[in-house]
């Protein structure tokens, strides 16, 4: 049975996360809920939980430093501050959750933790032996707008679409631009989560609501909660052959 620690100096937020995890992942056991970094480090060393949900700004030892002191635990940062995402990713965080947290976003985090859980008896990878970045699916995308750089979670992406010399990254609430072309991006994405449907479009399976055939026999993808309609080229139509 997997175990976890929740470190947050706000007891109400810690209790809320524990309640959500109990409801959404009943097999997970919460072994401690320390309220500062020093107590969290002691609990991590004594209890050695599989997962550590860490706030970033905590008294004593902040979450980023704490993550480096507990290599045996897979770390998920849960914070109200989005300006630490780049550093968190550099420290091999499994996920970076922003408060206020929704059940849908937490479920995606849980799915990732379950999917990437080490086999029973397998040692947890530490800083000296990280997973090769050139083979693991990309989790975050660095996007820029003017002088601002942000990280966008790949889990939030509905689709990618080629646009001139750039690639548009479309989420439910925004559109971003990256310079990586689709042909280089597709091999770096999780094949169980994304598929290419056109030479200029990659779509997330979870974003697809339905696929319809128009009067000309062309397939069109309609997305959940989004007005966009994406084309399916003949080269990729085979995956919808059952229609």
Are 154 and 90 members of one domain?
A: no
127 found inside a domain: no
Q: Give mean pLDDT, residues 124-142.
A: 56
126 found inside a domain: no
Are 101 and 145 members of one domain?
A: no
**Alpha-carbon radius of gyration of the chain:** 20
Question: The domain spanning residue 156 has which CATH number?
Answer: 2.40.50.1020
d(Cα 84, Cα 64) in Å, to the nearest integer?
A: 9
- Model pLDDT, residue 82: 75
Strands 157-163 and 201-204: what pairing?
Answer: antiparallel
pLDDT at 115 over 60: yes
pLDDT digit string (tens) for 77-86? 998 877 767 6
List, in sequence order, the alpha helices (H) in the chain.
Answer: 11-24, 37-47, 63-68, 85-90, 103-115, 182-185
Are 106 and 162 members of one domain?
A: no
Pair 153, 206: CB distance under 8 Å: no
122 found inside a domain: no
Question: Is 230 or 163 the better-scoring residue by pLDDT?
Answer: 230
Are 101 and 169 members of one domain?
A: no
Query: Interhelix angle for 103-115 vs 11-24, to 10°?
Result: 60
158 found inside a domain: yes
Pair 197, 184: CB distance under 8 Å: no
Are 14 and 109 members of one domain?
A: yes
105 found inside a domain: yes
Q: DSSP for 151-168?
A: EEEGGGEEEEEEETTEEE
Are 145 and 213 members of one domain?
A: yes
Which one, of 141, 158, 168, lies nearest residue 204 by Cα? Answer: 158
Backbone angles phi, psi at 141, to 5 degrees: -120, 135
Q: 121-130 burial string, b = 16+ CB within 10 Å, else e?
A: eeeeeeeeee
d(Cα 75, Cα 92) in Å, to the nearest integer?
A: 8
Are 58 and 162 members of one domain?
A: no
- Model pLDDT, residue 26: 92
What is the pLDDT confidence band of residue 89, given thresholds at 50, 70 and 90? Answer: low
Q: Mean of the per-residue pLDDT values for the chain? A: 83
Strands 166-171 and 175-178: what pairing?
Answer: antiparallel
Q: Give mean pLDDT, residues 163-177.
A: 87
Number of domains in the chain: 2
Dihedral sign computed on CA atoms, order 41, 47, 50, 55: negative
Question: The domain spanning residue 8 has which CATH number?
Answer: 3.40.50.2300
175 found inside a domain: yes
Are 68 and 11 members of one domain?
A: yes
- Model pLDDT, residue 192: 82
129 found inside a domain: no
- Model pLDDT, residue 91: 64
pLDDT at 10 over 70: yes
What is the pLDDT confidence band of residue 135, given thresholds at 50, 70 and 90? Answer: low
- Model pLDDT, residue 200: 93
pLDDT digit string (tens) for 143-165? 876 667 778 889 999 999 998 78
pLDDT at 31 over 70: yes
What is the pLDDT confidence band of residue 123, given thresholds at 50, 70 and 90? Answer: very low
Domain, as residue range, for 185: 140-240
Q: 240's torsion region: left (phi>0), alpha (psi -120 to 50) or beta?
A: alpha
Q: Give mean pLDDT, residues 168-188.
A: 88
Q: 60's torsion region: left (phi>0), alpha (psi -120 to 50) or beta?
A: left
pLDDT at 184 over 90: no
What is the pLDDT confidence band of residue 221, given thresholds at 50, 70 and 90? Answer: very high
Are 7 and 101 members of one domain?
A: yes
123 found inside a domain: no
- Model pLDDT, residue 119: 52
pLDDT at 120 over 60: no
Are 81 and 180 members of one domain?
A: no
Listed ranges 50-54, 193-197, 224-228, 232-236; the one with the highest mean pLDDT: 50-54
Are 103 and 150 members of one domain?
A: no
């Amino acid at each position: 049975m997997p175990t976890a620690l929740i470190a947050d100096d706000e007891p109400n937020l810690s209790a809320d996360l524990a309640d959500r995890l109990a409801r959404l992942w009943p097999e997970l056991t919460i072994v401690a809920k320390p309220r500062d970094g020093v107590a969290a480090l002691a609990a991590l060393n004594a209890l050695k939980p599989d997962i550590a949900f860490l706030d970033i700004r905590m008294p004593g030892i902040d979450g980023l430093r704490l993550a480096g002191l507990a290599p045996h635990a897979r770390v998920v940062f849960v914070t109200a501050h989005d300006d630490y995402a780049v550093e968190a990713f550099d420290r091999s965080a499994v996920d970076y959750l922003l408060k206020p947290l929704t059940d849908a976003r937490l479920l995606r985090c849980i799915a990732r933790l379950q999917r990437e859980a080490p086999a029973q008896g397998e040692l947890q990878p530490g800083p000296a032996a990280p997973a090769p970045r050139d083979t693991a699916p990309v989790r975050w995308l660095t996007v820029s707008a003017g002088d601002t750089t942000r990280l966008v979670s790949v889990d939030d992406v509905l689709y990618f679409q080629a646009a001139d010399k750039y690639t548009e990254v479309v989420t439910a609430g925004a559109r971003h631009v990256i310079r990586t072309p689709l042909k280089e991006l597709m091999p770096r994405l999780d094949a169980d989560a994304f598929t290419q449907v056109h030479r200029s479009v990659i779509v997330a399976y979870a974003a697809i609501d339905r696929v319809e055939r128009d009067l000309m026999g062309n397939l069109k993808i309609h997305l959940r909660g989004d007005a966009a309609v994406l084309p399916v080229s003949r080269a990729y139509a085979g995956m919808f052959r059952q229609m």
